[in-house]
Chain A
Amino acid sequence: MSSLNEMLDMGGHGIYVWSSYAITLVVLALNVVQPWLARRRLVNEEARRRRREVM
């Protein structure tokens, strides 16, 4: 267990390294998820518009 802690602590630099990686992961994920959600929104909007036209 202590070796895991040591590995995560990185000789006192862990906080800097891990915060950097966490922020980067969030930003990268955001850049993929956001266009994906927007695409779904467009598909749904179009589907609703089509249903209105049929009625």
Chain B
Amino acid sequence: MKKPAVPLILNDFEKQEKEVAYNLGMPGLRIQYFRGPVWGKTNEQLKKQIVEGSNPITGKPAMPELVELLTKPLTAEEQRTGEVKQDLGPKTYTGTPDELQKLFLKKRYTDFLPVVLPTEDKVAEMMKFTSHQPTEILGKMNPGSEAGEAWSYTVKEAAVSAVMAGAQPEYFPVILALGSTGMTAVNVSDNGFMAGAVINGKIRDEIGLNYEEGAVGPYAQANTTIGRAWSLLSINGGNCGKVGTTYMGTIGNPMNLIGIIIAENEQKSPFKPLAVRRGFKEGENVVTLFMGWGILSAKNWAATVWGPNMNYPEIIKEIYDTQDGHLFGTCAVLSPPIANFVKDAGYDTVEKFTEWVTGQLPGAKPAARGMEINSGVRRSGGMFTVIVTGGSNNNYFSMGGMVPSMSVQIDKWR
């Protein structure tokens, strides 16, 4: 707009904002910092603490300094033009395994856990499981919508992250499908969002994804290393996960360490798989991305109503009604026994169950969010999504806050 402007930023975001401004081509952007948060404070508190207070970084009185930022002539540095290239180091590193582990840790290429060192041979093994060229741009990613320009990464760079994560080469098409979406597994938001993915199709058995007991737990090689590869690709390919700049979760979210990979238990589910409900063919290998708070909430299982007779559909509905689904709706992760209770109660499709739980009218117009189908809701739990996975050793389920976004085919990445 070519008019002087000054953004007002909380001082806790200084490091992040300087990096964002740098990435946007304004390394010396004039920013006025103040001590936050402002949320929840009265006008009187804001006046005393901010307007009559000081910039916590410079120590200068805040408002006169703000005027100065609008009126003090620009320095030569602030008017500089041209192009800056970021140096990301050499293409390869040579050293002993111990030295390289330390180097990767120091350069923040890792999630702070040891990695499988990505030699050319190991990366080549990974590449055997895709027909795509190593130099093909797989996707673009940034840590969040306002966290700077997106970085790009190639198929080979995704293979490097896959090796580092300990993934088996046969998992690689799934990792590529995830990477192709450009969605980060490690969001910058101070809310501490997590990311997850649901996998449908025959590939679940081909690569040994766990969808029985412990399905959403970490103890399955395929689920865990695919999720870790996605997170490492987000760190290295998308510049995510750097505390203070591209990871600003106020309290963080442990589910950012490894993207949650859920394989649906299609064999034991009484319902059509999630991917089929979203328009894909039965048996087609599809990954559907999710984002939200997580898969668990304090209201899980409604333990206070445990008794000899259980009305699970009613319990699920009650939990839904008390969720705050404004941002991420409500996601019910049902074990097969619970899903069958729902079916036996007369809801033989997820769509019928959704209509009843959410109170939406049959045929309600879907929201304009691509392929999301469980929309048109009017209750507090927001969009309602059902995933069926896990074992049959007891009647358990989980109600969290996750909303599906895009679904992509996996086989095109073979």
A and B interact: no
